[in-house]
Every structure is written in C-alpha cells, then in structure tokens.
Chains A and B, each alone.
Chain A
C-alpha cells in the first residue's frame, strides 16, 4: 500500500493532465455513489460479466416467449442430435433442450435472487442488531449462527422439500434459512467498529431510535460490503440449488432447474455430449458472471483492495 502512495505523490496533481475531458471542477464533485458507479463501469471483467448476466436473464425470461418449443412439449423425437430445429438436441422423453434450458435458467435465477435477497435482509438485520446492541442479544444471535452452521443444510433442505413441497419458493426459503450466517457475521463485525465512531454517538445523543440508527446511519455506511456479499450469495445459491436438485432432493418435476437438467442428462456424457455441455455452460457462465460482478463491485466500493481477493 505504501508504494501506491509514493508513486501517486510523485505524479502531477489530478486535473493537470492533458485530457481536457477530466478538467477539475469544484462545482461538479461526485457523490460516493457516482464514484462507485464510475469505477464499476470501468471494470472490464465486471462489465463483460454484467453483459453475460443480462444475456442470461433475457435468455431465461424473454427466450421462452420467442422460441418455438415449450419446455413441457414432448412431441419431438427422442435423443435427436443438434440441428437447426433443435440447436441443443432433444432429451430422452423428446423435450427440446434449448426450451428446457430457458426454463431451468429462469427457475435457477429466480431461486438464487430470492435466496440472496432474503439472506441479505436477515443477515444485515441480525448482524447489525448483534453488533449494535451487544450483550445478551449479541450472544443469542451469534449462538444461533453457530447452531445454523452445524446443522447440515443439504439434509434439512431435503427433508423440508420432501415433507412439504418441491416448489421453487420452498427450495428458496430453505436455502435462504441457511445462507444468512456469513452476512450476519460480516455485518456484525463492521457494526462493532462503526458504532464506536462519533457520528453514531451523536445520533444516539440526539435521541435517534435503534432502528433509525441501524437503517439510517449504520447500513448506509456498510453498503459496500453488503452489496458485495449479496452478490456472492447469489452465486453460492445458484450452486447450492443446483447441487440439491442434482441429488433429486430439491426442485422436483414438473418444475425444473439447471441442477435437474444436469441430473437427468449426465448419463449421456459419452454418447450425446451436447446434452451435458449445454446445461453445464449455462450453469458455469451464470455462476462465473455473478462472481465476477461481485469482484468488480468489491473493487468499485473499495479501490484500496484491488487485486487482493479473498
């Protein structure tokens, strides 16, 4: 870090450069959000990944409206090789793989987004409460985190899905119940250090209530790590859901997801490789793209951390 300061000190001050479009103007100082946005927009990998992510969203939600086959349509001949009519071939029961993939991607995305949103809300609220109130609340919530970490997620999810229903929102709820702990820990840590700062003390002295301090003063100051971890939670949820469905313990037919599609077709790896590689490419590009976006966000929120990935 020290080297960086040295080199930047020896450079001419900002605004003196030859690029006229970057003229320094005190009247147009940027807000924190604009700075972050600019840094994110200039992060090449993150922008490519963002493009891939948008493409996948379009593929999953607009694709089925345009494509000529429905994912439940079994009228095609079984196990056709890729052709113009079926770019990714057909499955054992004569479903068009491309249509199936669109539907599966949609469900996987839906589940992952719901899981990440729920996990972030629960994690931030619990973490901030534990870090701000300390004492008994902190102890109780952190023991709850310990408890959730030792209970095997995959088994509980399987039991709930079997016992109640295999609809996508049940899967999402169970996965969210096991995804909030790391966010809670991170939020708690940051809250602990933030609540020592003067502005929190000032807010308290002005008579601000606990919810107000948490949501108006603490959360906006932690928005960087919250956003980054929410993004990483999406990637983790995509993989967990796929793994659960792969074991046949998650999303169940007639619903489908990327995990279900891989599970149904991986036996054809050697004879009809396209049935495996199609879903594989979608699944991996989805999780890679989200991870890269998370990385880009981390760099955008905290430029000092660039290149040091954890």
Chain B
C-alpha cells in the first residue's frame, strides 16, 4: 500500500512541475502588467521601470520561472501589483481565500457524497419505484442546471425567507451577502445559529450539483452490480437481502464513485468560485477575478499553483481510497 501511494505521489510531481511551467509561460505572455500600469493616469515611465526591475520583468522567462519556483517552494510567493496601495504579500491573501473556499467545498462535497450515495443505492435497490423516478429526474434536472442560476435562486429565496422571519418577529437567520462580521461569538446556541445561517445557503447550492452527479453514478454502478453473477450467487446461497446489498453490492458500487470524486474536484472548485461570487464571500473566486482584471502575475501564479496542488492532492486521496476499495488496483 505504501509503495502504491509513493508511486502515485512520484507521478504527480513532474506533472505539477510541467503544469506550473506552462501556466507561467501563459501568464507571462498573455498580458503585461507594465502596460496596465502605463495605462493608469499619472504614472511616469521611471516608476514603471522601477516596478519592472523589482518584479524582474526584464529577464528571460525561463530564469524568471526558476526564480519563481524556488521562491514558491520556500514560501515566498511574491507581491501583488494590485491589492491596494501598499503591495500585499500574495501568500497570506491566497491562504485566507483558500481557507474560505475550502470550508465551503469540504462541507458541500461530504454532504453531496453521503446523500448522493445513499439516494443512488436506494434508487437502484428500488428500481422503477416512485422514489427511483423522483431521484433520477431530480438528478437529471440538477445535472443540467447552471450552478450560478441555482445559487441565485437559492440566495433570493433565502432573502425572502429572512423577510418572513423578520415579519413574524424573529431574527434574520440566513446570511446572503458575505460571511458574518465578527466571527461566531456569543453563547453556543448563538454561535450555532450564526454558523448555520452563514454556511447553509452556499453549501446547499454547491452541494446540489455534485449530488446529482454522485447519485446518478452510484445508481448506475449499483444496478450493474446487482445484476452481476456473484450477487446472484450470494442470493442463491440464501444470504439475507440487506447483507447482499451492503456486503456484496454496495462496497463494489463505491469504486466508480471514487473515480468520479477525484475527476470531479476541479469542477467542484470552479462551482465554489461561482457560489462565492453570488454570495459575496471573499474566497478563491474573488481573488481570481481581481487578479485577472488587474493582470497581477504573482497573484495569478500563486492561485494557479495552489489550485493545481489541491487538485493533485485530491486525486491522491481518491487514488488511496480507490486502492483501499479495490485490491486489484493496490496490488496490480
């Protein structure tokens, strides 16, 4: 098992290196932060040259990439050219954003996975029942839904729900524009109230889309396995229905979902960016939009590198889970 994990880890390092290099070249060729600076009124050529020297923009791309890489792995991610007047460090800005987005993604993905698998299994076991039709059509509908529309709809019904709460004399519960100021202080009940109010709507919006994919996938793979020979053999031996479903079918039906989970991560991350934008959270989405608007190379590179690393890490986790679920992969 350890050898298997190590092998997966070793494969991902060169891919990350090549990926980061290509991203660097792209960022370096796609835009020129100096041109953006020059376009601003009241900026003299001397100031532009000074920034160019500070950022090392006068040197060849390969050298700059190497510098960036060595600095990056040592924790120096460069400074932003845009964030406010004082040049901000990229690393804290991105780490803050990652924390915001990460909480959202993790919660939503765990919920989506649990619910999706449960619904998928139930739909497969009770194939062609009302529950199955309901689950399948909901999943199909959500699968075809643009996530930003879902988020907008949920947000606005949240606002109306708050209005209703207020009209019957209660406190507004759901937060629809940015995370609550001042953290989750107060008594335990108060903190839970604030916490759920803040996370509920964005998490649900993000969850719905992944949930659709997981339940569809789980249903399909569960159905396939329920019709396979070894399940029929288990039934023929007289093993109880629940044991057949959970011991024989369910475990094997999880394998394709593990693949989907790892392949899906990039899409979920993109979904999180959009959800955040709608709900006004300052997370990775806001950072990306800002960095692209101002054409901020250090910020963009930090963003790309962190995101790519997250995807690789998730793939690794999925691979390990995959290895646990399926001995053929671990030993093969």
Contact = CB atoms under 8 A, between A and B. Distances in A.
B148 A243 contact: yes
Interface string A224-249: 00000000000100010011001111
Listed residue (A147, A287, A291) with the most chain B CB atoms within 10 angstroms of its CB: A147
B144 A235 contact: yes
Given A150-B16, A308-B223, A284 B292 contact: no
Secondary structure class of chain B's binding surface, majority of residues: helix
Given A150-B16, A287-B146, A308-B223, A270 B159 contact: yes
B268 to A, nearest CB: 12
Interface in A1-55: 1-2
A206 interface: no
Q: Interface residue tally of chain B, by bracket?
A: 35 or more
B15 A150 contact: yes
Nearest to B152: A266
Nearest to B312: A150
A160 interface: yes
Nearest to A263: B148
Contacts of A154: 270, 273, 288
A147 B220 contact: no
A37 B305 CA distance: 47
A160 B26 contact: yes
A147 B266 CA distance: 12
Interface residues of A, number: 43
B195 interface: no
B249 to A, nearest CB: 14
A152 interface: yes
Interface stretch (B17-25, B44-52, B54-62): B17-25
B270 A152 contact: yes
B144 A287 contact: yes
Interface of B: 11, 15-16, 18-19, 22-23, 26-27, 29-31, 136, 140-141, 143-149, 152-153, 156, 159-160, 216-217, 219-221, 223-224, 227, 263, 266, 269-270, 273-274, 277-278, 285, 288-289, 292-293, 295, 300, 303-304, 307-308, 311-312, 315
7 contacts: A147-B15, A152-B266, A162-B31, A162-B295, A247-B285, A287-B145, A309-B136
